[in-house]
């Protein structure tokens, strides 16, 4: 069983209240898109800045990546075309590829094969998991496929407020009961996999 | 001489037919077993329904009442798992300290994970924003209460 250090890899907005709540829930690292002023990492919870890039062309993605110091930030790409999806799967500067209802159909077997080869993690957020539309059933099939191929999965809350955070064990239970993801795989998606990605950086 | 050849050939044909019939028989038995497995429910019978006690704590903006909490949990469980699972699970809050925000829920042992997920998904109790954190799953109420007492929650 992996170690009990939980990481939330996508928090929209981090403030002191969010940080304290995350500590009570059991999270030790938060990856935030927007960090409120004067908020710094403490002994209990560490903060890492996250950058999400949505792109339709590789040229645009390359331009955006060129400006960012990839050693200091957690870089996630939301591919909006097959070209970007394939390219971001093998770029070492990119830490994860996010799946959303906008790009769900790009994750075909070939994409899975490339992601498996470069062991690029797939990131999924709670609002996407709880999607009640057509994308919900499509996501179930995709996640099952990713789990069967043992591709690393990263699960995050995408919380904008403190009460939108989800307890880690509830998240594991949700992945197990609603998406039939094996317990060990669900467990590593919020603990080991994000920690492995963060260990390559100069932030933790 | 002629009859001997005929009898040998008949014997050979009958042997071949026997082998073919046996093969078909084994194949049909295999299909029958496969079909039976498909038709029969894969879920093992639960047997004696056992209960589990889940210790939880509520982090809320304001104090919450037991009634609001029960209603919120019922709504969320039905929303994400349906009426069938809710009926089977029959979650009951058997102890809730409104001042401390600590409680114990009793649930069917097969639905423990469903309830833990529901606790995490419940974000609103009554008119306040809340997070319900599952802390421990025990087999008896005594152990659940002991956990609360020992950890001073």
* B81 interaction partners in chain A (CB closer than 8 Å): 177
User: What pLDDT is attached to residue A31?
Assistant: 94
> Is B153 at the interface with chain A, CB within 8 A?
no
Q: What number is the average pLDDT over the span A158-162?
A: 93
Domain extents for chain B? 1-43, 51-151
Identify the pLDDT of residue B105: 96
Residue A166, φ and ψ in degrees, nearest 5: -120, 135
A116, A149 Cβ separation under 8 angstroms = yes
Is A163 an interface residue toward B (CB < 8 Å)?
Answer: yes
Within 10 A of A152 (CB to CB), how many other CB atoms are there?
21
Topology (CATH) of A6-198: TIM Barrel (3.20.20)
Give the tens place of pLDDT for each residue, B37-67.
777 756 566 678 899 999 999 999 988 899 9
DSSP for residue B44: P
Q: Kindly report the average pLDDT of chain A as a whole number.
A: 91
User: Which of residues A3 and A112 earns the better pLDDT score?
Assistant: A112
Between helix A82-90 and helix A109-117 the angle, nearest 10°, is 20
C-alpha separations of A92 from A115, A118, B35 in Å: 12, 9, 49
| H-state helical runs in A41-167 | 58-67, 82-90, 109-117, 126-129, 134-148
The beta-carbon contacts of B39-47 under 8 Å, at least 24 apart in sequence, are B46/B110
Query: B134, A170: Cβ pair inside 8 Å?
Result: yes
> B38 is written with which tokens?
């498909």
Instruction: Give the whole-angstrom CA distance, residue A128 versus residue B44.
Output: 32
Do A106 and A85 contact (CB within 8 A), yes or no? Answer: yes
Was domain B51-151 assigned CATH 3.30.1330.10?
no
Give percent helix, percent strand, percent coil of chain B, each to the nearest 5. 55, 25, 20
Tell me the chain A residues in contact with residue B121 when contact means C-beta distances shorter than 8 Å: 130, 166, 170, 174
Pairing of the two strands A46-55 and A27-35? parallel
Residue B41: what pLDDT?
59
Rounded-to-integer distance, Cα A39 and Cα A109, Å: 42
Beta bridge partners of B92: B106
* pLDDT confidence of residue A1: 47
Measured CA to CA, the distance from residue A83 to residue B92 in angstroms comes to 52
Q: How many residues would you count in chain B?
A: 153
Interface with chain A: mutation pick from B78, B84, B117, B129, highest number of A CBs within 10 Å: B117
Instruction: List pLDDT tens digits, range A67-81.
Output: 898 889 999 999 999
Q: What is the rounded distance in angstroms from the CA atom of residue A32 to the CA atom of residue A172?
A: 21
Tens-digit pLDDT profile for residues A38-62: 777 677 889 999 999 999 999 999 9
Q: Is B120 on the interface with A (CB under 8 A)?
A: yes
Long-range contacts of B84-91 (CB under 8 A, 24+ apart): B85/B111, B85/B114, B89/B114, B89/B115, B91/B115
B interface mutation test: which of A167, A171, A172, A175 has the most B CBs within 10 A? A167
Sign (positive or negative) of CA dihedral A148, A154, A159, A162: positive
A130 CB neighbours in chain B (<8 A) are 80, 121
User: By the CB < 8 Å criterion, does B134 face chain A?
Assistant: yes
- CB contacts, 8 Å: A170 with chain B: 116-117, 119-121, 134
For chain B, say whether A73 makes contact (Cβ under 8 Å): no
Give the strand order in the sheet containing A74-79: A6-14, A27-35, A46-55, A74-79, A96-98, A122-125, A153-156
How far apart CA A139 and CA A128 sit, in angstroms, is 8
Which pLDDT does position B123 carry in this prediction? 93
Would the CB atoms of B113 and A24 count as touching at under 8 Å? no
Q: What is the mean pLDDT of residues A100-114?
A: 92
Beta bridge partner(s), residue B105: B54, B93
Rounded to an integer, what distance in angstroms lies between the CA atom of residue B56 and that of residue B151? Answer: 12
pLDDT along chain B (153 residues), means of 10: 86 94 93 82 70 94 91 94 93 91 94 95 92 95 92 76
Which residues in chain B are closer than 8 Å to A173, comparing Cβ atoms?
113-114, 116-117, 120
């Amino acid at each position: 069983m992996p170690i009990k250090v939980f990481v939330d890899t996508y928090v929209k907005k981090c403030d002191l209240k969010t940080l304290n709540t995350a500590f009570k829930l059991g999270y030790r690292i938060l990856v935030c898109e927007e960090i409120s002023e004067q908020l710094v990492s403490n002994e209990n919870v560490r903060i890492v800045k996250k950058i999400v890039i949505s792109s339709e062309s590789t040229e645009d993605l390359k331009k955006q990546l060129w400006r960012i110091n990839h050693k200091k930030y957690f870089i996630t790409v939301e591919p909006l075309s097959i070209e970007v999806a394939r390219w971001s799967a093998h770029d070492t500067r990119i830490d994860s590829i996010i799946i959303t209802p906008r790009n769900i159909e790009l994750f075909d077997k070939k994409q899975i094969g490339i992601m498996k080869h470069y062991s690029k993690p797939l990131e999924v957020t709670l609002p996407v998991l709880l999607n009640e539309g057509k994308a919900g059933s499509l996501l179930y099939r995709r996640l099952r496929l990713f789990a069967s191929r043992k591709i690393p999965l990263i699960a995050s809350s995408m919380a904008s407020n403190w009460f939108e955070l989800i307890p880690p064990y509830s998240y594991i239970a949700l992945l197990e009961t609603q998406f039939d993801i094996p317990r060990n795989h669900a467990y590593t998606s919020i603990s080991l996999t994000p920690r492995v990605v963060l260990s390559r950086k100069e932030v933790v | 001489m002629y009859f001997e050849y005929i009898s040998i050939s008949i014997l050979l044909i009958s042997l071949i037919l026997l082998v073919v019939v046996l093969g078909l028989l084994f194949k049909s038995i295999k299909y029958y077993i496969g079909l039976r497995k498909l038709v029969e429910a894969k879920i093992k019978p639960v047997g004696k329904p056992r209960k589990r006690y889940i210790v939880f704590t509520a982090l809320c903006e304001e104090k919450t009442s037991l009634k609001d909490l029960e209603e919120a949990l019922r709504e969320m469980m039905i929303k994400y798992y349906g009426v069938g699972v809710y009926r089977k699970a029959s979650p009951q809050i058997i102890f809730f300290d409104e001042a401390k925000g600590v409680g114990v829920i009793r649930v069917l042992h097969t639905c423990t994970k469903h309830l833990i997920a529901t606790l995490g998904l419940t974000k609103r109790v009554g008119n306040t924003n809340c997070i319900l954190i599952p802390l421990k799953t025990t087999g008896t109420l005594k152990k659940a209460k002991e956990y609360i007492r020992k950890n001073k929650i």
